[in-house]
Structure 1
């Protein structure tokens, strides 16, 4: 059921879309909108499959109707232009791998690029950023995890003393329950104070390059 304000908004879209002189009723407009949305989604998945296939054309089939059990190794994935300069490339790929070892099925591959895209919700990015920084996979970010994270972010340009000082300060500021480590709630609260944290920590080059 469309309200009068919704109908007015949808009528205005005819002008925004450059189709003045053409009039759609709200139901027609929404039908066209959803058709376009799913077509664009199909096109993106199709192009991602092209990228996945070109990495191992003798392994990845073109026909997925039989749901083939195909996975590509981490080494192929991390050498993609979107990832090869990212200091967290191994952790990123491992975080989207079902077995945690870095081999990606096509579904894993699509999930990875979906989360790394600019259009992905911030909440979803936060979940995967937490997984990426949780090096020991204990569902917490401890001091050792933070040390590894900082070394990768700074490309080991800080001294051990500087790393220790920064890690202690981060835990002091972000650890809300005082257990000496960061749970997801602590992490989420911390990054909410830094709007660009997810963009730059996951690798700005991922956002700048398109996966097709």
Structure 2
């Protein structure tokens, strides 16, 4: 035991103050998230506090995301380098956006990016069809539970309701305007403990 070196990795008080100003998280929440993040690799973090871990590792500490039908899109949106890896800052952004203290319009803006599967800054009919298919899930054979025609019908109804300027797709402002006003949005777009 005398030969083992203990590596202490932590965030400074200055960093903690900055994180509380830049996120919707409390100091206690930030400490808890860092404690989880540290389990991924104390050695890596001792060398570089901004070390980026593969998203498969991130899913180990965030089981709420692991079981989310939109997990690939969530991880893509919150990976600041778009490299299938995440830093502590990325994880804080994700947790902040899905926290109870995050205003609905901010959450809705993040949700827009998650639903914009093709990244063209519009939620199109194809994006909505994909969302419907993900929400309905897969059967035991790994096939989508809903048939394409039904998914398209549902997506078309959503598009007609949300496409306020009648362009055939939903822009960021339309999406935020509509979604932030939905009473159930606040409960469904958050991390559950």
**Both proteins in one fold, TM over 0.5:** yes
- Answer with 1 or 2: which has the greater Rg: 1
Aligned to 1:46: 31
Equivalent residue runs for 1:149-164 within 5 Å: 149-155=131-137, 156-164=144-152
CA distance in 2, matches of 1:140, 1:60: 37
Alpha carbons 2:108, 2:180 under 8 Å: kept: no
Give the TM-score taking structure 2 as reference length.
0.76
Shift in Å at residue 189 of structure 1? 2.9
Shift in Å at residue 82 of structure 1? 2.4
In the alignment, structure 1 residue 170 sits paired with structure 2 residue 155: no
Secondary structure at the counterpart of residue 81 of structure 2: coil
Runs (5+) with no aligned partner, structure 2: 1-19, 138-143
CA distance in 1, matches of 2:164, 2:65: 33
Aligned to 2:57: 76
Aligned residues: 165
CA distance in 1, matches of 2:89, 2:152: 39
Secondary structure at the counterpart of residue 78 of structure 1: helix
Secondary structure at the counterpart of residue 158 of structure 1: coil
CA distance in 2, matches of 1:197, 1:152: 17
Runs (5+) with no aligned partner, structure 1: 1-36
Alpha carbons 2:105, 2:180 under 8 Å: kept: no
Shift in Å at residue 186 of structure 1? 1.7
Please, what is the CA RMSD of the aligned residues?
Answer: 2.4
Give the TM-score taking structure 1 as reference length.
0.70
Evaluate the alpha carbon distance shift between residue 109 and residue 153 of structure 1 in structure 2; reply closer, same or farther with a 3 A threshold: same
- When structure 1 is superposed on structure 2, of 124-133 and 147-156 the one drifting more is 147-156
Shift in Å at residue 198 of structure 1? 4.7
Aligned to 2:109: 127
CA distance in 1, matches of 2:49, 2:181: 44
Secondary structure at the counterpart of residue 94 of structure 1: helix
Alpha carbons 2:80, 2:86 under 8 Å: kept: yes
Once the two structures are superposed, residues 120-157 of structure 1 have per-residue CA deviations (whole angstroms, 9 ceiling, x without a partner) of: 11111011100100111111101111111111111132
Aligned to 2:178: 190
CA distance in 1, matches of 2:72, 2:180: 25
